[in-house]
Structure 1
Amino acid sequence: MLHGVPRALTRRLLAAVIASESVVVFFGALVAMSLDRTEGGSGTTWLVLGSILAVLCVVDAGMLRRPWGVTLGWFLHLATLVSALVVPMMFWVFVIFCGLWVVALVQGHKIDDLADEARRRHDAESSTGPSAT
């Protein structure tokens, strides 16, 4: 799923993944700042850009109810991949969190389907069950 509004459990799993990624992205911004300072730069640019990316990850965690929330999450993963040009270890952050994102989408969808099926079964049993007299 590249876009759309995920159902309840899928949305929670995706929010947990992207919010956790925000913390790691911010730490990556601190590393980029330190690397730039050792090379004689101020490091402020990398810290600001990384902080914006981290804040956007948190914002996306809350915006997954919107049709563009999942799409924004994919773009944030791509931005994390691009940050590997500054801090090469961010490539592994991308791999891990993109993998978790895909697992959350797939498994969350399956669990939401099972929960819907169980809810329908329960509703059918309660409507056809013995009536109290």
Structure 2
Amino acid sequence: MFEVTPGMRRLGASVLGMEAIVVALTTPVAITINKVAPSVALTVGLGLAVLCVLVTGMLKRPAAYIAGTVIQVLAIATGFLVPAMFFLGVIFAVLWMAAIFVARRVEGATKR
């Protein structure tokens, strides 16, 4: 089974916390620059930011890492509203994977 380590929780929380800020800030960009309907921009931007915060609180559970991966896909998909999010979403997805794999590798090496 998937073991959650303290390093994974710390790094995952850092990634999701920063991502929450970035996706929340896509809301005004989508409305003013890309002329997206405010209801759509608010639902997507702030909804995804709230989802990031909620999953951050659940990072002790292995299922939260699946939810975090889904968030990464959704963040990339927000590129359809704000094209820069295609790039930023990929960056956060890479950071998310690094949070999982690098933390596990580092903590595995320190256990020996």
Offset at residue 29 of structure 1 (A): 1.7
Instruction: Show structure 2 runs of 5+ residues with no match.
Output: none
d(CA) in 1 for partners of 2:84, 2:33: 13
The two structures, once aligned, show a CA RMSD in angstroms of 1.8
d(CA) in 2 for partners of 1:29, 1:11: 27
Same amino acid, percent of matched pairs? 30
d(CA) in 1 for partners of 2:84, 2:91: 11
Offset at residue 112 of structure 1 (A): 1.4
d(CA) in 2 for partners of 1:10, 1:42: 37
| TM superposition score normalised by structure 2 | 0.89
Q: Partner of 2:26 in structure 1? A: 28
Instruction: Show structure 1 runs of 5+ residues with no match.
Output: 118-133
SS of corresponding position for 1:65 = coil
Q: Partner of 1:79 in structure 2? A: 74
Q: Partner of 1:12 in structure 2? A: 10
| TM superposition score normalised by structure 1 | 0.76
Say which one has the larger Rg.
1
* 8 A contact 1:5–1:70 mirrored in 2: no
- Size of the aligned set, in residue pairs, is 112
Matches within 5 A, 1:35-74: 35=33, 39=35, 42-74=37-69
The answer to whether 1:93 aligns with 2:80 is no
| Displaced runs of 4 or more, over 6 A | none
Q: Partner of 1:111 in structure 2? A: 106
d(CA) in 2 for partners of 1:76, 1:10: 16
SS of corresponding position for 1:113 = helix
